Amino acid sequence: MRPILLQGHTRSLTQIKYNREGDLLFSCSKDKVANVWYSHNGERLGTYTGHQGAVWTIDVNASSTLLVTGSADNSCKLWEVQTGRCLKTWEFNTAVKRVEFSEDNSMVLCVTEERMGFAGTVTVYPVNNDVNGKQSDTPIVTITNKGGSKAVVAGWTCLDKYIITGHEDGSICQWDWKTNEKVKAITPHEGVLSDMQFSPDRTYFITASKDKIAKIFDSMTLDIKKTYVSDTPLNSAAITPKHQEFVVLGGGQDAMNVTTTSARQGKFESRFYHKILEEEVGRVRGHFGPINTIAVHPDGTSYSSGGEDGYVRVHHFDPDYFTFKLEI
Amino acid sequence: MSSLDFKNLPECEEDINFDDIYEKYEVSTENDFDTIVVVDGAPIVDEAKQEKLITVLTKLFTKGAGEIKENGIWMPMTPNEEGKKTSSGYLFIDFKEAESAQAAVKNLDGHKLSKTVTLLVNKFTDVEKYSDMNEEYVEPTIEPYTPKEHLKSGMMDLQARDQFVMYRGDDVSIFWNRKTDAPEHVYSRTNWTETYVQWSPKGSYLSTFHTQGIALWGGPSWNKIVRFVHPGVKLIDFSPNERYLVTWSNEPISLARLPETGHPFSEYDEGNQVVVWDIKTGALLRTFPVVQPVGEEQKTVRWPIFKWSASEKHFARVVPGQQLSVYEAPGMGLVGKKSIKTPGIVDFEWSPAKIDSSETKAFQKEEILSYWTPEVGNQPARVSLMTIPSKEVVATKNLFNVSECKLYWQNQGHFLAVKVDRHTKTKKSTYANIEIFRINQKNIPVETIELKDPMLAFAWEPYGERFATITTNDPAYGSTPAHGVAPSAIKTDVKFFYLDKSKKANAGFKLMKSLEKKTSNYLFWSPKGHNVVLATLRSSTVFDLEFYDVDFEPLASDKKDKNDVGATVQLLSTQDHYGVSDVEWDPTGRYVVTGSSMWRQSADHGFCIWDFKGTLLFKQNVENFKQLLWRPRPESLLSDEQKKKIKKNLRQYSKQFDEDDLAMGDASAAKLHAERRKAVEEWYGWRKATERKLQEDRK
Amino acid sequence: QEHKHALARKVIIERRKEIIETEIARKEKLIAQEKAAAAAKKAEAEKKRVEEDLKRREEERIKRIQDEVQRDQAKRIAEEISSKTGLQLKPEEIENSDVNTLLNLKVSRLQTEQKELSDRLKQISKRIDHTERAYRKEEIPLLEKDYEQ
């Protein structure tokens, strides 16, 4: 089926996210705004304006009432999804590169940049899910990877037991956030981590790295369960939750390294791999620049990709997709 | 010894002033062993008969070789078990002249003194050379490997697969080609070479390059077989049957910079840059200086400097503008003791034909080389054929308005094609002619094919009577694009020519098929002939590959035209490989590898394996991919009759191979499915356990 | 009386003359009118004919161009067929078919040709591979002997 093109952002996409039901798709971009769209037809519902810098990251809570964004303007903002009203602004010393609601929606983690003498942190704030309630100014915990490489992505494990952080040097750490202690650390990648997405039950997660490789880890043991080798630096990796045991990878050479023929070469394609067999099963092309972010619909019936080219492409899977089978 | 003045190198060998060497030579006469021969196989005698034997031998050697020095015969006598002194069967003879010693070896080696006694005569220096070797050349020769490994083991593969070497990043690896499956790894080493790798012409050795010299590897274990010390070595060239190796270094040999031992060089090698080695013994045979063309500082070395004849008996080089120097191997001396003066000579090529003593034509009992000289004054340019060692010119062709010639021998030496770049009288435009010498015909006739356009490529069909050319009439040819503009692929025409052998008056080489408006700039014949790959290489925009069969019986649906000889030229498929920089056929003509090397391309490095019809079998992107080279194969040990018989019975073989393939296909499919099943089971096993654990934790 | 009679006759004659003249004039006018009408009609018909002629010629011209375009296209396709596949079409084949039939012809010929080509190539491929393998199979014992020496 032809993809739906979401044209509303004027600069490259940084992150896209579906809400729990998958009827809404949230996107943020370097153009300083976040948008929300109907995922089935690509109609734009609203825009969240207020950030003074590129919006790096976005997340929505399970009831689709609250939206959180992190920006290069050194702040995190909490928004009312329905009205676009900014409910709270948390200020930081440096840019916010990643935000994520905890599984129980009572907290949000914010990954901040290491810059100008400020250490990179993972700061956890409590969230009041009442849109009219008061939001706290006091963080629950601030995690700093002392002496180690800065965190660039992070997420919550099942039951919010641990926070997993992915770092610039390709390492991954598991934190007991309640005691602010590092439980485990491994270095499974040779390049900077670019994305980390969890399975629906958060018992495992996939990482994407500039080293052209994506891997699946056990959230509890950090054992490497699967490895997907591609031929291009990866920016995003997502897991299909239903219908097919696939993962979707996206990336491409950075704009400055892109040759004019790379598009022809298909380095800007979304690549589908069989999650268990680690074999590539298909590609979807369309973007004119690297793919920065990929998200799969919670029903597993469609997926979307956001590119350096400023477009979000929403793809509803063809009937063939659902009947595809590798011979086992 | 004072070192040579490098800025003032002699222009040719004859011009080299040997005075310093002679001086050295004089001084060393006292210790010079050139006059001494060793006689072995002499009768063993006691003291009583010693005198008599010496008298006999003195007479024999004086008569047969030359005057012997006073007390010039020395026969070592050693006590035997009974305490009686006897000779040991060998003795030394010291002649007055070195020539006499040589004559002794020539005339009396193998001389029968009686029915049972045969004398063996060797020059003392030779004996010493061989016995010295172990001391002097310890490094290159003592690589312990017993029993010697089978250097052709690569040919013993039951599936008749071929090997290739791949150089990526710092790793060099050998693989078996497995068609559509990932190549099977055989052997790897990190930092195996410092610059690149090269196979010997028959695939026995893999050569690796190191700051200190060259190493050759081979056999099933890929052990080091021999090493040649040559600091700074950059280029090498094997003789056709792998007996000799020529190495070139940009650093002149300097004893001062070498350690005292562990290398084979002496003061005679000082300042030289080219070394000829014997591969079997590891011995240095001779070193040579690099000669620069007159009044020209050559920045790049034209390689190979020395070209080998097909028999390996001769090798030669050209001193540009002056002469051709042909040497003998392994003797290393100039053929006829002097170079062949050939004013103006630019380049030459040996005929690859094997000398056949049964050949009826006298000149073909010798090796042939071709060379060309440019127009000088009123003298036309000229291409000549010369036999070696008799140095007789057997054919010439005069040419006019020539700016450049290039010599192409057909691989059996049946034809020589000369690509002649010509300019119009006004010198405004250039175009190419092809002059073809038919070596096997009486008087070696020459025919001319006029192309009207400049020619980019020429290639004979191996074992064939056809050739292909790439020409262009694109005005953009030769012009450099504006700065920052990617060079566009120029339009080219590909033409196939065949030999019309009919009795008609106009018989000869004729156009078979012309393919117009292509972008191809390279063409590659299959080593077995019949198939050709046309490629657009090293362009930044076009990466086309076209696979042709020139002997394809036209399809039934095609219009039948029996007079159209070009009807058999069939395009099998058109493909492209982004960034392709190199193309190589495997030695069997079954597969083609295209590579995108980091040496030539900025991105997307890796290789593709195609079959001869252009079906992509395997593609791999390889970070820092540098080289992929098929391992060459030695000549088949099968006789033509045996081959014919096999072809005749191919059906039976085919049946077996089909069964083998099917079984193997089934086996590999079964293996794949088993692996998949295992992966799936493990995954769901882990998932179940994890989900159960999560359930419990939730409570 | 006579005079009166004569006058009267004169008057009558005059009258008759007048009547005749008027009649003639009327007739002439009528004829002229008829003539004019006929001329006009003729002119009209001529004009119509010219127009129709023009139209017809225009149509013919257009048709010719279309035909030519069609033929050109057909020729182009035919050339494409022949250049891409080596398949030659007879001139009458090109002449007598429209673009669609040619395209269909092209597709069907291409398909049969592709099939034949791939079948033949499969055979050749097998022959080359099996010959090579048979050679090597027979060569292995010779290689072993060679090595022992």
**pLDDT tens profile B187-221:** 999 999 999 999 999 999 999 999 999 999 998 88
For the cut 80, the answer to whether the pLDDT of residue B619 exceeds it is yes
**CB burial string B472-499: b at 16+ within 10 A, e below:** bebeeeeeeeeeeeeeebbbbbbbbbbb
The verdict on ipTM greater than 0.90 is no
Q: Give which of C62, A119, C125 is closest to B531, Cα–Cα.
A: C125
pLDDT digits (tens, 9 = 90+) for C13-26: 888 888 888 888 88
Q: B428 falls in which pLDDT band (50, 70, 90)?
A: confident
Chain B residues with CB under 8 Å of C128 CB are 528, 588-590, 612
Taking the CA of residue B616 and the nearest CA in chain A, the distance in Å comes to 16
Please give the interface size between A and B, counted as residue pairs whose CB atoms are below 8 Å apart: 44
Burial (Cβ within 10 Å: 0-12, 13-18, ≥19) of residue B272: middle
Residue C6 half-sphere exposure toward CB, CA atoms < 13 A: 3
For the cut 70, the answer to whether the pLDDT of residue B20 exceeds it is no
In terms of residue numbers, what domain contains C25?
Answer: 2-148
Interface of B with A in 491-550 (CB under 8 A): 541
| pLDDT for res A257 | 53
Q: Is residue A328 part of a domain?
A: no
| pLDDT for res B591 | 96
Q: Give which of B366, B236, B270 is closest to B309, Cα–Cα.
A: B366
Determine the 3-state secondary structure of A247 from DSSP.
strand
DSSP at A34: E
Q: B482 falls in which pLDDT band (50, 70, 90)?
A: low
| pLDDT for res B551 | 92
| pLDDT for res B300 | 67
Residue A306 half-sphere exposure toward CB, CA atoms < 13 A: 30
- Long-range interactions of A175-182: CB distance < 8 A, separation 24+: A175/A122, A175/A143, A177/A124, A177/A140, A177/A141, A177/A143, A178/A141, A180/A141, A180/A142, A180/A143, A182/A145
Determine the 3-state secondary structure of B409 from DSSP.
strand
For the cut 50, the answer to whether the pLDDT of residue B142 exceeds it is no
Q: Are B65 and B108 in contact (CB under 8 A)?
A: yes
Spatial separation of the C-alpha atoms in residues B2 and B23, rounded to whole Å: 12
Q: Give which of A70, A68, A146, A77 is closest to A114, Cα–Cα.
A: A146
Query: C139–B570: do the CB atoms touch at under 8 Å?
Result: no
**The token pair that represents B124 in the structure block:** 């003392």
Query: End-to-end distance of chain C based on CA atoms, in angstroms?
Result: 174
| pLDDT for res B481 | 59
Query: A159–B697: do the CB atoms touch at under 8 Å?
Result: yes
Domain count across chain A: 1
CB-based contacts of B193: which residues, under 8 Å, 6+ apart? Answer: B167, B172, B208, B209, B210
Interface of B with A in 614-643 (CB under 8 A): 621
Q: Which residue in the block uniquely carries the two structure tokens 């002449």?
A: C95
> What CATH number does domain B32-136 carry, 3.30.70.330, 3.40.50.620, 2.160.10.10, 3.40.50.2020?
3.30.70.330
Spatial separation of the C-alpha atoms in residues B89 and B41, rounded to whole Å: 5
Interface of B with A in 265-284 (CB under 8 A): none
Spatial separation of the C-alpha atoms in residues B654 and B652, rounded to whole Å: 5
Distances (CA, A) of B636 to B165, B309, C20: 21, 21, 130
Q: Give which of A268, A288, A293, A301 is closest to A26, Cα–Cα.
A: A293
- Residue A276 contacts B where some CB pair is shorter than 8 Å: yes
CA-based angle B618:B623:B624, to the nearest 5?
115
Report the residue from B150, B570, B638 with minimal CB separation from C86.
B570
Query: C113–B155: do the CB atoms touch at under 8 Å?
Result: no
**The token pair that represents C132 in the structure block:** 């090579």
Report the residue from C112, C121, C139 with minimal CB separation from B638.
C139
- The pLDDT mean for chain B works out to 84
* Angle, in degrees to the nearest 10, between helices B640-648 and C99-148: 130
Spatial separation of the C-alpha atoms in residues B360 and B304, rounded to whole Å: 32
Q: B587 falls in which pLDDT band (50, 70, 90)?
A: very high
**The token pair that represents C91 in the structure block:** 């001139």
What is the average pLDDT across B290-299?
A: 63
The backbone torsions φ and ψ at residue C58, rounded to the nearest 5 degrees and listed phi first, read -60, -45
- Compare all CA atoms of chain C with the CA of B151 and give the residue at the minimum distance: C147
Query: C140–B589: do the CB atoms touch at under 8 Å?
Result: no
Please give the interface size between B and C, counted as residue pairs whose CB atoms are below 8 Å apart: 92
Stretch among B147-161, B362-376, B625-639, C14-28 having the lowest mean pLDDT = B147-161
For the cut 70, the answer to whether the pLDDT of residue B363 exceeds it is no
Spatial separation of the C-alpha atoms in residues B626 and B163, rounded to whole Å: 17
Q: Are B131 and B114 in contact (CB under 8 A)?
A: no
| pLDDT for res B130 | 52
Spatial separation of the C-alpha atoms in residues A154 and A167, rounded to whole Å: 9
- Residue B360 contacts A where some CB pair is shorter than 8 Å: no
Query: B578–A265: do the CB atoms touch at under 8 Å?
Result: yes
**CB burial string C6-43: b at 16+ within 10 A, e below:** eeeeeeeeeeeeeeeeeeeeeeeeeeeeeeeeeeeeee
Spatial separation of the C-alpha atoms in residues A56 and B338, rounded to whole Å: 80
Residue B406 carries which side chain, given as an amino acid letter? K
* Run of H or E including C101: helix C99-148
What are the DSSP calls for A284-306, one per residue?
E---SS-EEEEEE-TTSSEEEEE
| pLDDT for res B668 | 83
Q: Are B493 and B471 in contact (CB under 8 A)?
A: yes
Q: Is residue A56 part of a domain?
A: yes
* Angle, in degrees to the nearest 10, between helices B640-648 and B650-698: 70
| pLDDT for res B455 | 92
For the cut 60, the answer to whether the pLDDT of residue B467 exceeds it is yes
| pLDDT for res C96 | 64
pLDDT digits (tens, 9 = 90+) for B284-293: 999 999 876 6
The backbone torsions φ and ψ at residue B616, rounded to the nearest 5 degrees and listed phi first, read -70, 120
Domain count across chain C: 1
- Compare all CA atoms of chain B with the CA of C86 and give the residue at the minimum distance: B558
Mutant choice from B542, B619, B684, B687 vs A, greatest count of A C-beta within 10 A: B687
Q: Which residue in the block uniquely carries the two structure tokens 């000829």?
A: B276
Q: B22 falls in which pLDDT band (50, 70, 90)?
A: very low
Interface of A with B in 136-175 (CB under 8 A): 158-159, 161
Report the residue from B680, B686, B694 with minimal CB separation from A201.
B694
Query: B646–C135: do the CB atoms touch at under 8 Å?
Result: yes
Count the helices and strands in chain C (H runs, E runs): 3, 0
Q: Are B421 and B435 in contact (CB under 8 A)?
A: no
The backbone torsions φ and ψ at residue B295, rounded to the nearest 5 degrees and listed phi first, read 55, 30
Distances (CA, A) of A96 to A47, A58, A136, A164, C93: 20, 10, 18, 17, 72
| pLDDT for res B30 | 43
What is the average pLDDT across B655-678?
A: 88
Spatial separation of the C-alpha atoms in residues B305 and B291, rounded to whole Å: 10
What is the average pLDDT across B30-58?
A: 79
Work out the percent of chain B whose per-residue pLDDT is above 70: 87
Q: Which residue in the block uniquely carries the two structure tokens 């120029």?
A: B490
Residue B240: cis peptide before it, omega within 30 degrees of 0: no
Chain C residues with CB under 8 Å of B647 CB are 131
Burial (Cβ within 10 Å: 0-12, 13-18, ≥19) of residue B356: exposed
Determine the 3-state secondary structure of B612 from DSSP.
coil
Spatial separation of the C-alpha atoms in residues A33 and A36, rounded to whole Å: 10
> pLDDT higher for A44 or C86?
A44
Q: Are B246 and B314 in contact (CB under 8 A)?
A: no
For the cut 70, the answer to whether the pLDDT of residue B10 exceeds it is no
For the cut 70, the answer to whether the pLDDT of residue B453 exceeds it is yes
Work out the percent of chain C whose per-residue pLDDT is above 70: 86
Work out the percent of chain B whose per-residue pLDDT is above 90: 48
Start-end of H helices in chain A: 262-265, 319-323
Query: Does domain B309-452 bear CATH number 2.130.10.10?
Result: yes
Spatial separation of the C-alpha atoms in residues B645 and B656, rounded to whole Å: 17
| pLDDT for res B138 | 38
Q: Give which of A102, A218, A93, A196 is closest to A152, Cα–Cα.
A: A196
Report the residue from A225, A265, A328 with minimal CB separation from B680.
A328
CATH number at residue A25: 2.130.10.10
| pLDDT for res B546 | 96
What is the average pLDDT across B355-379?
A: 81
Q: C146 falls in which pLDDT band (50, 70, 90)?
A: confident
| pLDDT for res B47 | 80
Query: A328–B698: do the CB atoms touch at under 8 Å?
Result: no
Burial (Cβ within 10 Å: 0-12, 13-18, ≥19) of residue B260: exposed
| pLDDT for res C113 | 80
What is the average pLDDT across B511-525?
A: 93
Q: Give which of B659, B672, B112, B10 is closest to B323, Cα–Cα.
A: B10
Spatial separation of the C-alpha atoms in residues B402 and B272, rounded to whole Å: 35
What are the DSSP calls for A96-147, one per residue?
EEEEEE-TTSSEEEEEE--BTTBPPEEEEEE---STTSPPPSS-SEEEE-TT
Positions of chain A with pLDDT lower than 50, given as ranges: 258-263, 266
| pLDDT for res B316 | 95
| pLDDT for res B112 | 80
Chains C and A touch (3+ CB pairs under 8 A): no
Spatial separation of the C-alpha atoms in residues A6 and C38, rounded to whole Å: 74
Distances (CA, A) of B698 to A164, B440, B689, C5: 20, 92, 14, 151
What is the average pLDDT across B150-155?
A: 80
Taking the CA of residue B611 and the nearest CA in chain C, the distance in Å comes to 8
Report the residue from A203, A261, A278 with minimal CB separation from B694.
A203
